[in-house]
Amino acid sequence: MKHLFTILFFIATVPYLAVAQNNNNLSNNKNNINMKTINTLEFPELPYSTDALEPFIDKQTVEIHYGKHQKTYFDNFMAAVKGTDAENLTIPELFKNISKYPAAVKNNGGGFYNHVLYWESIKPNSGRPSAKLTEAINKSFGSLDELKKQFTDAGKNRFGSGWAWLCVDEKGNLFVFSTANQESPLMDVAEKHGTPILAMDVWEHAYYLKYQNKRVDYIEAFWQIINWEVVSQKYEALVK
Ligand code: MN3
């Protein structure tokens, strides 16, 4: 009898578990931007309202950053690839050979895609890294505090405009990295290669209205709103 209940419970639960997994699994989601060819891309919705990140990132900054900067990169990227073979590639495929394409493809393709990762990296109520990601952070950095220090330094020490990243290398190890302008660790031109799971924009347009020249204050605020749920999912999808 006890077994019968166990079996019935299992049968009743499986469909719900499957749905939950589909909704959460970014890597297998058919809406996953990494799986789409560039000619099928649409400008994505912001995952929250423009005031959702207050007081850490103000509404006006999000409006301009998303609606003007990222949208312009998207439009220019689409125009730059139109009629070329790049149209039929996915973004990760394109980035792997980005050095073969004109600068406009790199600058606007990176500008568009890096911001997709940026908006996914943050959210109004930050959680904590999953157990599996915590274990990996401890292995690679010793502690979450040490990761924060290295990530902060990467953003702070980037001269001019660029990005700080938490990446996973081909062996599944985590590392912190920074790129200039709109380059990405997915691009062949980067000094080090990996898949980004956390993206922080340190261009002045990301913080100047609220933080002016105080980039470190912006980085501290960014750290308070990291979407650890998504970062953990991305990590776990890459190492499974
Ligand atoms: Mn930006």
SS (H, E, C) 167-182: EECCCCCEEEEEEECC
Helices within 173-214 (DSSP H only) = 208-211
Ligand 1 centroid, distance to 70 Cα (angstroms): 7
Identify whether 157 is part of a domain.
Answer: yes
Identify whether 213 is part of a domain.
Answer: yes
Looking up tokens 């909704």 gives 23
**pLDDT tens-digit readout, 43-78:** 999 999 999 999 999 999 999 999 999 999 999 999
Q: How confident is the model at residue 18 (pLDDT cuts 50, 70, 90)?
A: very low
Identify whether 44 is part of a domain.
Answer: no
Ligand 1 centroid, distance to 158 Cα (angstroms): 14
d(CA 215, CA 156): 7
Identify whether 26 is part of a domain.
Answer: no
Phi/psi for 186 (5° steps) reads: -85, -10
76 to 43, 82, 109, 171, 185: CA distances (angstroms): 12, 10, 8, 35, 21
CATH code of residue 185: 3.55.40.20
Residues with CB under 5 A from ligand 1 (ion): 201, 203, 206
- Tell me the average pLDDT across 188-195: 97
Ligand 1 centroid, distance to 1 Cα (angstroms): 60
Identify whether 200 is part of a domain.
Answer: yes
Q: CA 55 from chain center: how many Å?
A: 21
Note down the domain range covering 164: 59-240
Structural domains in the chain (count): 1
Identify whether 69 is part of a domain.
Answer: yes
Identify whether 104 is part of a domain.
Answer: yes
Q: How confident is the model at residue 126 (pLDDT cuts 50, 70, 90)?
A: confident
Looking up tokens 């347009």 gives 205
- Tell me the average pLDDT across 69-88: 98
0.85 surpassed by pTM: yes
- Tell me the average pLDDT across 4-31: 44
Please, what is the average pLDDT of the chain? 91
Identify whether 53 is part of a domain.
Answer: no
Ligand 1 centroid, distance to 185 Cα (angstroms): 16
Compute and round to an integer the Cα radius of gyration of the chain: 19
In this predicted structure, the answer to whether residue 19 has a pLDDT above a threshold of 50 is no
d(CA 167, CA 174): 6
